[in-house]
Structure formats: structure tokens, C-alpha cells
A and B are shown apart, each in its own frame.
Chain A
């Protein structure tokens, strides 16, 4: 595919996007309240102990451990200095990305409301999340109002602390402000479902099964793996 005479993205371009998302989560950040304001409030300002907190806050159940990474804004470094950033619009976009279950900030479906189901929203279904960690980096990251991301309609009622917010005053990727989120949500379920359909088709046709059997994965092994993936989908479907 060619766009304006420019070639398609290379794996290098794509890896850079993936690395940027992950770095946005892994770099140090301090905890704060979703509403903003670091002083006061229980535990505010306690450092996020990196990976430990990721697993404690996001993945409390064995079957629901599928996470999605999102970052906004995403743009080439060359464009950064010509762009104005505002926390409210960034966070509104971050929330809509989460709600529509996409990691793309372009072409967002702004009509979708939290809690909509297929009948009300014309086939579009709002994505539910179990829990989310939001990392705000840059100017005024300590004060930006992240309550739109804490909307209880985005999460199931039993989720104890659905949103964790971390902040850092240091600019990320040269952006004046940047929001990265790591969310335990239904986003990965449709691809898993499609992959299952494809795998069943191949298995039923007996395709390539002998190559796996040679190395110790027989029909039972496949059956078990597919079953466990079905269980995961079922667990996310009940949200």
C-alpha cells in the first residue's frame, strides 16, 4: 500500500510504536488520585513499584489477564513542536479509545456511550474493562482531571479499584503531555475468537496436526488449549 507516494510502514516503524507504548508504562511514575492533586488522599504520591503493582492492580483473576496498551498522542517527532496539547482533550480521547476497544486514536467512534449494548447503539458494543492503569507524563500531569477514565460505567460493579493513575512531570517522547494506559479489558477478545474459529477449521481438516504430534502436542493438547481460550472469552463476556 502506498500513501502519498510513501512506502508502507516497516517492522522497524511498528516496533518503535510498540516500544513507545511499553516505555510509557515502565518508566517511573508516582501515584495520584484520578481527580488530580497529589497531596492528601490515602496513598497518593506513593511510588508505583513498577511490575508488582501492574499485576496486583490489573490482574486479580487467573482467567482474565489480557491487557491492552494505548498511547495518545501518537505522532512523528517532527510534528510535535507544531502541536498544541490539552489534557482534557487527550484524556477524552484516551477514554473513547478504551470504550471502543481500539488502540488507534484516529477514526474514533465518538457516538458510542458507556454501557451501550448492540441493540441501542446499532451493532456497536461498548468495551468493558476490569481495571486500568493510566500514566500521565508532562506538564501539569499531577493536576490533570482523569475522572472521565474512572467513570464507573466503564467497569463492572465488582471491580474494587478500577483506575490507578500515575504521573510524572517529565515529558515523554518530546510531547508536552502524553497519556499511556495499560488496561485489562475485552479488546483482545474478538481477535482471540477469530483465531479460535480458524484453528477449529484447520483442526477439523486435520491440517498440520502430525507436525505437532511429532513434538509432543497431540489432539488432546490442542483440545485443552482451545478449551482454555474459550474459558477466557467466556470470563470476559460476563463483564
Chain B
């Protein structure tokens, strides 16, 4: 196994670089048309469908409990939204986030309907210290019947990071580097055109924050020209974890080096929006009830 990957990886890296180089050239060619004043390269406007037919594929890395849960929710949303597109556009857009399952692929043994076997597979790598979170995400996806995760793209251990950023970054990071990069490489290799990575994590804990920051660094080393975006959940200020101030700042400071863009999503505000959801829902239910009685 080790010998195998040792031979396989350098070849893949060159191959991937060529792909990336092609992708970049393609983008650069059309860029001058964007500058005001440069009118020489303007092309005929095309229909929306032609313009968006081939978005670059995104490989998602879900880290820690929060990252895995938000990630599963993201693929669920994407899957539903892709179905809202006209049938002729769906396949092209789906390719950006999902890949077609292989017939010979090992099906994970998580219980679920066998009809989901041929469902599209999320271009995702799932990482957590505790297997139960990863298993829950796999099960949840499979239950939808519309999409699923690849059970071979997961990495889990039997111990937690104890909400210690340093433990997640230094101690576990070095230990899992090879395995993580191997999983990500397999997923990236499955893309015709790789558009970049999205890493999903929380900032307060040990695994998503500490190991997540390590994985971002490792991906930056391994894929220097790829776009790397981080979706980070900012903790409640009242405190979920006693050392969250340390963990959050260590994560932020580390990602400043590796990430191309750090989207910070505050739990406090997500909470407020959800509360508003419930409020509106309750109001509409109440008025339905009143109408029915009237």
C-alpha cells in the first residue's frame, strides 16, 4: 500500500499541475475582456446555459463535528437546488459538486436503501477524530436517496482532540498528513477540471480548528496554485469551549497563511436567523389555525 502510493503520487502531481495550468490559462485568456477600455476581446454574449455549462469542480474537506454537519447540509442543499435547474443543465452543474458512482466501487456498509447505490457521490473528504460523526454524515446522506458520500473517503480515529488546538495541529496533524493528502488526491484526481477546495470547520474546538488549520497548510503545500477557501464557524461568545479564544485565534492566524479566503460565519447570527425562521413559521401556523376556525 505504502509502496503503491509512493509511486503513484508524483505522477499524479504532474498530471494535476498540467490540468491546473490548462485551467489557469483558460481563465487568463478571457480576463482582459473584463478590463474597462479593452474592447478587443469582447465575445458575443451567449445564452446563460452555454455560459455556465462547465463550472470547475469543487473538492470539499469536512473537518470535525461542525464541518461534517455543515458539509452534509451543504450537499443536501446543493442536491436539491441542482434539481431545481432545467433538466438539460443538471448534469453539467452536478459535476461541479458530485461525481458519478463507479460500478465496481466498494459500497460502504452503512445501512441504507440499496437504491441509493447509483446516486451521485459528493466530491468530499470527511475527517474527524471520532468515527461516530463521520458515520452519521454517511448515513444521513444515504437516507436521502438523492446523493451519498464515498465511504472510502473518510478518516476517523478513536480519540478526540480534547478541544486542544495544539494537539489537533501538531500531534494529530503530522500523524495523519499522508492519509489526508492521499484521500484528497484521489478525490481531486476524479475531477476533469478542478476548481479548488472548500474546507469546512469550526474555529473553537480541537479537530476542526487545529487539524483543520493543519490540513489547510498541507493542501497549500501540495497544491500551491489551487484556490483554497475556508468556511469557518465562529463560536458563540458566551462560550462553547473554555479555551475557544485560544483556539479561534490560533486557527485564524494559521489560515491567514494558507487560505485564499476565510468566510467567517458567526454562530450567534445563525442562531438569530434560525430563531426568526421559527418565529415566522409559528406565526404562519397560528394564522392558519385562526383561519381554519373562522
**Cross-chain contact B273 with A51 (CB below 8 angstroms):** no
In the complex, residue of chain A having the shortest beta-carbon distance to the beta carbon of B86: A170
- A50 and B261 contact, CB distance less than 8 A: no
In chain A, positions 1-51 with a C-beta closer than 8 Å to chain B are: 1, 3-23, 26-30, 38-40, 42-47, 49-51
Chain B residue numbers with a CB within 8 Å of A142 are 48
Interface residues of chain A: helix, strand, loop or mixed (majority): mixed
Bound Cα distance A15, B68 (Å): 10
Q: Quick one: which of B56, B69, B273 contacts A52, CB cutoff 8 A?
A: B56
Chain B residue at minimal CB-CB distance from A213: B166
Are B259 and A47 in contact (CB-based, < 8 A)?
Answer: no
B152 at the interface (CB under 8 A from A): no
- Cβ contacts B188-220/A at 8 Å (1 or 0 each): 000000011110000000000000000000000
In the bound assembly, the distance between CA atoms of A209 and B192 in angstroms comes to 46
Report the stretch among B1-9, B98-106, B240-248 that lies at the interface. B240-248
Stretch of A53-61, A84-92, A119-127, A148-156 lying at the B interface: A53-61
B74 at the interface (CB under 8 A from A): yes
Contact B267 A14 (CB under 8 A): yes
User: Chain B: which residue is nearest A164 at the CB level?
Assistant: B34
Choose from A3, A45, A74, A82 the contact partner of B51 (Cβ within 8 Å): A45
Asked if B58 contacts A50 (CB within 8 A), the reply is yes
Q: Is A75 a contact partner of B280 (Cβ separation < 8 A)?
A: yes
Choice from A9, A19, A74, A229 contacting B76 with Cβ under 8 Å: A19
- List A residues 158-211 near B (Cβ within 8 Å): 161, 167-174, 182, 184, 187-188, 191-192, 194-196, 198-199, 202, 207-208, 211
Chain B proximity of A49: nearest CB distance (Å):
6
> Is the C-beta of B269 less than 8 angstroms from some C-beta in chain A?
yes
The complex places the Cα of A30 from the Cα of B43 at a distance, in Å, of 14
| Nearest-Cβ distance from residue B41 to partner chain A, whole angstroms | 8
Could you say which residues of chain A place their CB within 8 Å of the CB of B262? Answer: 65-67
Question: How many residues on the A side are at the interface (Cβ–Cβ under 8 A)?
Answer: 100
Instruction: Give the docked Cα–Cα distance between A9 and B281 (Å).
Output: 12
Tell me whether B271 and A54 are in contact (CB under 8 A).
no
B224 interface hit (Cβ, 8 Å): no
Across the interface, A168 reaches (CB within 8 A) one of B48, B227, B233, B283, namely B48
B229 within 8 A of A: yes
Query: Known contacts being A9-B278, A68-B263, is A14 close to B270, with CB within 8 Å?
Result: yes
- Mark out the residues of chain B between 228 and 285 whose CB falls within 8 Å of any chain A CB in the assembled complex: 229, 231, 233-234, 237, 242-246, 248-250, 252-256, 259-267, 269-284
Output the least CB separation between A175 and chain B (Å). Answer: 11
Count residues on chain B whose CB falls below 8 Å from chain A CBs: 90
Indicate the member of A30, A74, A192, A214 with the most B CB atoms within 10 Å: A30
What A residues does B56 contact at CB under 8 A?
49-52
CB of A51 within 8 A of CB of B58, answer: yes
Q: Are the C-beta atoms of B278 and A18 separated by less than 8 Å?
A: no
Q: Residues of A contacting B270 with CB < 8 Å?
A: 14-15, 17-18
Nearest chain B CB to A32's CB is how many angstroms away? 10
The reply on B107 being an interface residue by CB < 8 A is no
B113 on the A face (CB < 8 A):
no
- The distance in angstroms between the C-alpha atoms of A8 and B275, with both chains bound, is 7
* Chain B minimum-CB-distance residue to A226: B249
For B27, B34, B263, B278, the residue with the greatest tally of chain A CB atoms inside 10 Å of its CB is B263
Taking a contact as CB atoms closer than 8 A, the residue among A13, A67, A172 that contacts B278 in the complex is: A13
Interface residues of A (CB under 8 A from B): 1, 3-23, 26-30, 38-40, 42-47, 49-52, 54-55, 58-59, 62-63, 65-69, 74-76, 78-79, 82, 102-104, 106, 142, 161, 167-174, 182, 184, 187-188, 191-192, 194-196, 198-199, 202, 207-208, 211-217, 221-222, 224-226, 228-229, 232
Instruction: List 7 contacting pairs A-B, 8 Å CB cutoff, sorted by A.
Output: A43-B42, A50-B96, A76-B284, A104-B276, A161-B34, A216-B166, A216-B171
